[in-house]
Amino acid sequence: SHLEDGEALTAISEFERFQERWTLHALSPQVSFGICRAYARLSPIPQRDQTYTHRARDACARTAIEFAGDEVAEQADSIQTVMTDKLAQREYEVGRFYQRRDLHDSAVLSFERITDLYPETEWAPRAFMAMYNSYQAIGWEPEAEEAREELIARYPDSDEARNLQADRDGR
């Protein structure tokens, strides 16, 4: 009821207390999912500190693994995907912030974090494209070409890969 009343921190505290006392209770899957949902509810917009988003992603991952086969695992996995996407978006926005200020070295580091940590998100092909653009801006042609090739190889169906492929083919 705390979660439904918008009291996510109180809900988390109560769910965790329940988990500690009754680890093998029949309601354990719902309690674990409750923690996942509560942290997800605390997850802010991408421009803010993402501590709760990380916690939500981790709590949901634990629920999905621990209760695989249960319907809460599917729902938790879905929330985990949303939280992962938000973290990738946050990192992309940081990279774009640096890029707009011509701080391309810092931008590239942010974009590399996306390709390393969040390769399954829609932000990964965007990050490769942004890396390509940053490398082009600072005149690092071999690195730009490497980013282009990796984008085309890993995400051939993305709009970014199709655009770079068309440019390379001279269309």
| pLDDT confidence of residue 31 | 82
| pLDDT confidence of residue 19 | 79
Backbone angles phi, psi at 170, to 5 degrees: 80, 20
| pLDDT confidence of residue 24 | 76
- Report the chain's mean pLDDT, rounded to a whole number: 90
Beta strands in 7-116 (DSSP E): none
**pTM above 0.75?**
yes
Q: Is the pLDDT of residue 6 over 90?
A: no
Q: Is the pLDDT of residue 105 over 90?
A: yes
CA distance 123 to 86: 10
Residue keyed to tokens 């709590």: 59
CA distance 86 to 73: 20
Residue keyed to tokens 């092909």: 125
pLDDT digits (tens, 9 = 90+) for 72-91: 999 999 999 999 999 999 99
Query: What would you measure as the largest C-alpha separation in the chain, in angstroms?
Result: 66
| pLDDT confidence of residue 100 | 97
| pLDDT confidence of residue 40 | 92
| pLDDT confidence of residue 5 | 65
| pLDDT confidence of residue 29 | 87
| pLDDT confidence of residue 45 | 86
Q: Which residue has the higher pLDDT, 107 or 11?
A: 107
pLDDT digits (tens, 9 = 90+) for 39-69: 999 888 888 889 999 999 999 999 999 999 8
Amino acid at 98: Y
Q: Is the pLDDT of residue 103 over 90?
A: yes
Q: Is the pLDDT of residue 26 over 90?
A: no
| pLDDT confidence of residue 142 | 96
| pLDDT confidence of residue 2 | 59
What is the mean pLDDT of the segment spanning 9-16? 82
Length of the chain: 171
